[in-house]
Amino acid sequence: MTTMDTRTGRDGWAAGTRVYVENRRGRLPAYTITEELVREALRDAPQPLTLTVRYADEPDFAALAEAEFFMGSGFDTRRLADHAPRLRIVHCTSAGVDQYLPLDWLPAGAVLTNSSGIHAEKGGEFGLLALLMLNDRIPEHATNQRRHRWHRTLSSPIRGKTVLIHGVGALGGAIAEKAKLLGLQVLGTRRSGAPHPYVDRMHGPGDLRRLLPEADFLVVSCPVTAETRGSIGAAEIALLRPEAGLVNVSRASVVDYAALADALRGGRLAGAVLDVFEQEPLPPEAPWWDVPNLLVIPHVSSDNPEDYVRRSVALLAENIGHLVAGRPLRNVVDPVRGY
């Protein structure tokens, strides 16, 4: 990949824009940030635009040293701390930022932004799918298929049942919206406790244990913070009804998977749909492949291959415009809250 300097000057813009984009080898094409996408998104940015697009294993340290804006995912924070003193915005193409905390590596005056919100449409649809699968005991049917076992389990309609969404942010809110289409009662937790148009009853995280016995379905969609890590442990899983189901589209570290597996094996939980794991790709020897009534989804629930990168680049472009205009930036990660 190359470095280019596009000189198309525009009246009213200041000195120019220097952007460094980092891709990782081996990822699906849907996650590749191309020069064309960035140039199109930044057509109204201060010119001239100096754009460097590199793979992580072939860095351009000279360009990185001059860059004001960085975009990538799974990047080496120490590299940025040591080689990118002029950065003003570091934009992560994912929503989760737990691997970058604490933010003591950020150059002075720089902020970290994420791509929270771009996953909502696809993630909401997946949440609807997962709820329907759990209601109709699809994880159990899949387990019986692998065992060549014919066992008829009947299920009632989903309308009128209750879903508890642990973490009503952009993704959790999108799932709540889809859940209302199914006629579900929606309970939610969020740090602020602020109401949401698609949540019937919103609560703070401290009410989680009290709410769990009411849930037919538990959807985990909260960011990983010191408060949420391990928040769905053995004690919380034990509070769920035996016929309940669990969906995790957050991070594996929020849920005690060993306790979850024990509950599934013991018939103390009806099913689970997991889209996230501590080690990804999930190795063949991982125990989760063979846990009964558990569906393993390879972390694809929320990413739209047609515009995932385009939307993320658009967020960075918008923030560059906001920075130039002196307006507040979107999706700035709060180092205290952790998201």
pLDDT bucket at 15, cuts 50 / 70 / 90 = confident
Q: How confident is the model at residue 338 (pLDDT cuts 50, 70, 90)?
A: confident
In a domain, 224, yes or no: yes
In the chain, the percentage of residues whose pLDDT exceeds 70 is 96
pLDDT band at 154 (very low <50, low <70, confident <90, very high): very high
Decide if 322 is catalytic: no
Indicate whether 148 and 240 sit together in one domain: yes
Range of the domain at 231: 120-296
Domain count, the chain: 2
Same domain, 94 and 174: no
Q: Check if the beta carbon of residue 158 is closer than 8 Å to that of residue 180.
A: no
From the candidates 18, 54, 91, 251, give the one annotated as an active-site residue.
251
Active site residue 39: no
Mean pLDDT of 73-101: 95
Residue 336 lies in a domain: no
> With 70 as the cut, is the pLDDT of residue 7 above it?
no
Shared domain check, 150 and 275:
yes
Instruction: Break the chain down into helix, strand, coil percent, rounded to 5.
Output: 35, 20, 50
Question: Do 125 and 101 lie in a common domain?
Answer: no
pLDDT for residue 4: 35
Both 112 and 174 in one domain: the answer is: no
Alpha-carbon span 161 to 218, nearest angstrom: 12
DSSP string computed for 317-338: HHHHHHHHHTPPPSSBPPTTTT
Q: Does the annotation count 83 as an active-site position? A: no
23 shares its domain with 69? yes
284 and 178 in one domain? yes
Mean pLDDT of all residues in 283-310: 96
**13: confidence class by pLDDT, cuts 50, 70, 90:** very low
Q: Is 83 found in the same domain as 178?
A: no
Residue where a domain terminates, one of 259, 278, 296: 296
- Mean predicted confidence (pLDDT) in 227-234: 96
Q: Write out pLDDT tens, residues 109-145.
A: 999 999 999 999 999 999 999 999 999 999 999 999 9
Give CA–CA dist 188/225, Å, rounded: 18
**Residue 12 and residue 306: Cα distance in Å, rounded?**
34
Q: Which of 40, 243, 278, 280 is catalytic?
A: 280
Residue 2 pLDDT > 80 = no
Q: Is the pLDDT of residue 187 over 80?
A: yes
pLDDT per residue as tens digits for the range 18-51: 999 999 999 999 999 999 999 999 999 988 999 9
Assess whether 79 and 129 both reside in one domain.
Answer: no
Q: What's the whole-number mean pLDDT along residues 233-258?
A: 98
Instruction: Examine residue 332 and state whether it is found in any structural domain, yes or no.
Output: no
Does residue 333 lie in a domain region?
A: no
Q: What is the pLDDT confidence band of residue 237, given thresholds at 50, 70 and 90?
A: very high
Which one from 299, 310, 322, 330 is the annotated catalytic residue?
Answer: 299
Q: Are residues 269 and 313 in the same domain?
A: no
Is 280 found in the same domain as 315?
no
